[in-house]
A = this chain, B = another copy of it.
Amino acid sequence: MPSFKPVLVVAGIGAGGGTGGATARAFAKLGYSIALIARGTDSLKSLETELQNSGAEATSFPIPSYEHTSIKSAFESIRTRYAAPQYSIRAALYNAGHGVWKPFLDITPEDVKIITETNVEGSFAFAHEVLSDFKKNEIDPANGKRGILIFTGATASIRGNTTTSAFAAGKFALRALSQSLAKEFGKQNIHVAHAVIDGSISTPLSRSRRDNPEWEQNEDVRLSPEAIASSYVYLASQERSAWTWELDLRPAHEKW
């Protein structure tokens, strides 16, 4: 239907082989142009190139940190690169995260700073930019949306535990934001969703850390980024009469 090209903005792509990258690939296949925001210049560039080689439009927007000024300026560049009316930001994924797993007394002020920057300052700034843009969009008649904003959560989004005080504080905050936004912006036909990823994801990093081919090959015991991305594609497709704010995702054999 649309005369414009839809754009997906992803923040947080790690080394490119995780949820952020898989989501970029999945939306690219659906015809979205991709804007990639992350701290790591190398993996950004490599994912950008990969997407372009697959025939997609993709541009990376490296940021030094998730401070609000960085996010704001990344979006200014995105709006120039993907300018209306040719382009329209229609989907956004906030996938930035920072893992801190430590006994509480070992957590440093620097750990706390990066947790709050990634989960609060950055997410608020990202949502601010995205929602400001979404509000100007026409409603897509296919699904009743001006846009969809998805947040990647974790087990720690709903449960604090002995070594997750910092990580859970960040993820709880992100979940609160997503729920508040879902309630406020649903009325404006903007879909906000939150996925609780409850288990280990098979990424280049987790695979090299575990060095366990059995785990890697057994899809019953670990999440694949592609399967998570599929659920994000599904959320983006949900019709206006039945939107999901939150779903959990875990491998079939997960103990929980």
Q: Which residues of A contact B (CB under 8 A)?
A: 68, 103-105, 107, 109, 112-113, 115-116, 120-121, 124-125, 127-128, 131-132, 144-145, 156, 159-166, 168-181, 183-187, 189, 191, 202, 219-220, 222-224, 227-228, 230-231, 234, 238-256
Contact = CB atoms under 8 A, between A and B. Distances in A.
A164 B172 CA distance: 14
A251 B247 contact: no
Copies of this subunit: 4
Contacts of A224: 239, 241-242
Given A169-B120, A230-B239, A186 B128 contact: no
Contacts of A179: 159-161, 168
B176 A160 contact: yes
A116 to B, nearest CB: 5
Contacts of A105: 128, 131-132
A20 B103 CA distance: 29
B68 A112 contact: yes
Q: Which 9 A-B pairs have the closest CB atoms?
A: A160-B180, A227-B242, A160-B179, A165-B180, A172-B176, A247-B247, A168-B176, A172-B172, A169-B173
A186 B255 CA distance: 9
A177 B186 contact: no
A253 B223 contact: no
A121 B159 CA distance: 20
28 contacts: A103-B184, A104-B180, A112-B124, A113-B121, A115-B120, A116-B116, A124-B165, A144-B219, A159-B179, A161-B179, A162-B183, A169-B176, A186-B250, A187-B253, A189-B252, A202-B241, A219-B240, A222-B241, A224-B241, A224-B242, A228-B242, A230-B239, A234-B234, A240-B251, A243-B251, A244-B248, A244-B249, A246-B246
